[in-house]
Amino acid sequence: MSNNLEGKGDNNISKAEEVDSQPDMAATSAAMDGVAAAALRSVLQRVHHAAERSGRGPNQVSVVAVSKTKPISVIRQVYDAGHRVFGENYVQEILEKAPQLPEDIEWHFIGNLQSNKVKPLLTGVPNLAMVESVDDEKIANNLDRVVGSIGRKPLKVLVQVNTSGEATKYGMEPSGCVELAKHVSLDCPNLEFCGLMTIGMPDYTSTPENFKTLANCRSEVCKALGIPEEQCELSMGMSNDFEQAIEMGSTIVRIGSTIFGAREYPKKKSN
């Protein structure tokens, strides 16, 4: 676009600015609606290239679109763009959203799950595909019991491992992941052990070490269970490090802000 509008062209600028000050609301809404879908396409392309660099096909890496704090309308944009796998961190949020969205969505629960929230989660979200955050035997037993009592198909689960050693992080210590994986596989008939999950450190300084630790855990778990490593998922990598995670073996990446934009927390009311 030329910027050579001087002299008598100033009137044209004023008129243009006057028109722009009253934009077509429908057009603005349509433009906003396309942002998440375009971001999804960009992410999938980056996933594709990272998978190629790691010697795998793009169909060997799943993208969980983490819609935490995002409204139904924005989630629907990403759904309409063809995506079907979504994740939520909070039980109340997924219970509110899931009934308002298509039943063919595969929901992943990726946050800390308290025992008293297990039954509401499983009964309120029939299309819950996976719980990625099983970090002790108690929560595994509760999930197993409720899945059996409501008669749904076995629930896929991942064992969450605290690979960074941070006290503020949930997850089983690496030294305990084999025993928990064996417990889920052998003692929880209504659960399907599918692999391991981790969350790296917030500043990403030890991300490679975190991811390497999880990969080592997978080797130990698969040896103990007698299953090939290809059958054991690695859920690691988020918006800022998913390409590196894929290159280090991740098969599931959990991507929120890169698709949906910054999270929108409600403002606290001032006293």
Average pLDDT over residues 97-118: 97
Per the structure block, which two tokens stand in for 106?
Answer: 């595969």
Q: Please tell me the total count of domains within the chain.
A: 1
Average pLDDT over residues 166-181: 94
Which of these ranges, 29-38, 60-69, 208-217, has the smallest mean pLDDT?
A: 29-38
Domain span including residue 98: 31-255
Please choose, from the candidates 245, 247, 235, 131, the residue with its C-alpha nearest in 3D space to the C-alpha of residue 190: 131
CB atoms within 10 A of CB 246: 29
Q: Does some domain include residue 19?
A: no
Backbone angles phi, psi at 196, to 5 degrees: -125, 155
Q: Does some domain include residue 71?
A: yes
Longest dimension (CA), the chain: 82
CB atoms within 10 A of CB 202: 11
CA distance 169 to 214: 15
At 249, which CATH number? 3.20.20.10
Average pLDDT over residues 52-78: 95
Average pLDDT over residues 89-114: 97
Q: Which residue has the higher pLDDT, 153 or 9?
A: 153
* pLDDT (tens digit per residue) in 219-261: 999 999 999 999 999 999 999 999 999 999 999 999 999 999 9
Q: Does some domain include residue 119?
A: yes
Q: Which residue has the higher pLDDT, 256 or 166?
A: 256
What integer pLDDT is reported at residue 167 of this predicted model?
A: 86
CA distance 193 to 203: 30
> Across-strand partners of 156?
130, 192
If pLDDT is split at 50, 70 and 90, which confidence band does 106 have?
very high
If pLDDT is split at 50, 70 and 90, which confidence band does 267 have?
low
SS percent in the chain: helix, strand, coil, step 5: 50, 15, 35
* pLDDT (tens digit per residue) in 28-47: 444 445 899 999 999 999 99
Q: Does some domain include residue 157?
A: yes
Compute CA 47 distance to the chain's CA centroid, rounded to the nearest angstrom.
Answer: 14
| pLDDT over threshold 90, residue 70 | yes
CA distance 234 to 252: 6
Which of these ranges, 31-45, 76-90, 164-178, has the smallest mean pLDDT?
A: 31-45
| pLDDT over threshold 50, residue 83 | yes
If pLDDT is split at 50, 70 and 90, which confidence band does 1 have?
very low
Give the pairing of strands 106-109 and 233-235.
unpaired
| pLDDT over threshold 90, residue 206 | no
Instruction: Say which residue the tokens 């899945």 belong to.
Output: 147
| pLDDT over threshold 80, residue 88 | yes
With beta carbons less than 8 A apart as the criterion, state whether 131 and 152 touch: no
CA distance 55 to 26: 44
Helix (H) or strand (E) holding 261: none
What integer pLDDT is reported at residue 201 of this predicted model?
A: 76
C-alpha pair distances (Å), 270 with each of 4, 263, 267:
50, 21, 9
What integer pLDDT is reported at residue 11 of this predicted model?
A: 39
Q: Does some domain include residue 195?
A: yes
Please choose, from the candidates 255, 170, 241, the residue with its C-alpha nearest in 3D space to the C-alpha of residue 204: 241
* pLDDT (tens digit per residue) in 111-162: 999 999 999 999 999 999 999 999 999 999 999 999 999 999 999 999 999 9
What percent of the chain clears pLDDT 70, i.e. is strictly above it? 84
Q: Does some domain include residue 124?
A: yes
